[in-house]
Structure 1
């Protein structure tokens, strides 16, 4: 919900490379992914959605690593989150299957 300019002022300079719509889409995908990580296993309804959500978040985080590397910014936080997302996807598949 935060405007693109406000995000750039807060240190998220990567937003300059994307349109406002793309930035909002990334945010929406991350929120949907977070919900998908929690609700299916917590409720027992369609638990296969949890590892699928983790896979989606891993893809988003790998894209974040690429963007930070391309901009010559520190990519360590994004790399750590990408590894955690991949690990949670693998663990999710192991638990569900």
Structure 2
């Protein structure tokens, strides 16, 4: 399965009238709108939100509460994953 390069930031998810989804990846939040958008995934069939990702309402959209990893699969589904919090085990 191929994916687009991973984008990192606050993800905003909106639903279009035809049921497709738009995902905007932003550096920050200004009120309830994305600030400094760095990537857009438009007219996608669906969005898969991984465990550990919290969404809140943001006007007509929803958004993540923290920066996340966002990528797009070959079938057009946008994947949103929580960022890893640690480096894992370190070798001595």
Q: TM-score, normalised on structure 2?
A: 0.22
Write 1 or 2 for the structure with the bigger share of strand: 2
> Greater Rg, structure 1 or structure 2?
1
Write 1 or 2 for the structure with the bigger share of helix: 1
Q: TM-score, normalised on structure 1?
A: 0.21
Relative contact order (C-alpha < 8 Å, sep 6+): which is higher? 2
